[in-house]
Structure 1
């Protein structure tokens, strides 16, 4: 069953992870939504992160879970970006991907 997460990027210019190889590169609501959706649907972001680890083979493969049906929409609202995420992935996986992409530059507003 999919859960809807309402996420805010209060300052989109600062919604960047500490590693530019994993971080958002988007500048608009649609771009942020597309990049997060890709991070949830495909293993690409996880595989980049995994490849950076000292022993990639020791990384728990469950951390690379994907949801091919995940969807993310984005909307610019004044100076911040609102994202609505619908996914069946566990919340910890979603939070992990958001930390890689946005660092601490995101806020969870609601869950339904």
Structure 2
């Protein structure tokens, strides 16, 4: 298991470029819930894959999930911190975060 600490410095702008794949959350609990779902379920990956020009050519390894992944959120000052614990590699976590939040997130710690 790896624990990733992610900071959303401005939660209002933590949105990906494609609204149908992006965070819709406003509070830290909802951000945590949506990221947890993106790690546990293939739904976000499948929506992204279907939007690709050649969906059948997308590497299926990118769709890996971790049914035991957990994400906790907290608010600190104006930022939201998400602590994700998962067996998924960092590459997959980063891909899901880019879909959900675009470039409006920071990886603060990995343990």
Q: TM-score, normalised by structure 1?
A: 0.98
Q: Which residue of 1 aligns with 2:108?
A: 109
State the Cα deviation string for residues 31-75 of structure 1 (Å, max 9, x = none): 000000000000000000001011111111001000000000000
Determine helix, strand or coil for the equivalent of 2:22: coil
Contiguous gaps of at least 5 residues in structure 2:
none
Taking the TM superposition and a 5 Å limit, the aligned residue runs for 1:13-28 are 13-28=12-27
Runs of 4+ in 1 over 6 A off after TM superposition: none
Question: 1:76: how far off?
Answer: 1.1
Distance in 1, Cα, partners of 2:52 & 2:108: 31
Determine helix, strand or coil for the equivalent of 2:73: strand
Q: Are residues 1:52 and 2:51 paired?
A: yes
Q: Which residue of 2 aligns with 1:75?
A: 74
Contiguous gaps of at least 5 residues in structure 1:
none
Determine helix, strand or coil for the equivalent of 2:36: helix
Determine helix, strand or coil for the equivalent of 1:35: helix
Determine helix, strand or coil for the equivalent of 2:34: helix
Determine helix, strand or coil for the equivalent of 2:49: helix
Q: TM-score, normalised by structure 2?
A: 0.99
Determine helix, strand or coil for the equivalent of 2:104: coil
Distance in 2, Cα, partners of 1:53 & 1:8: 28
Determine helix, strand or coil for the equivalent of 1:49: helix
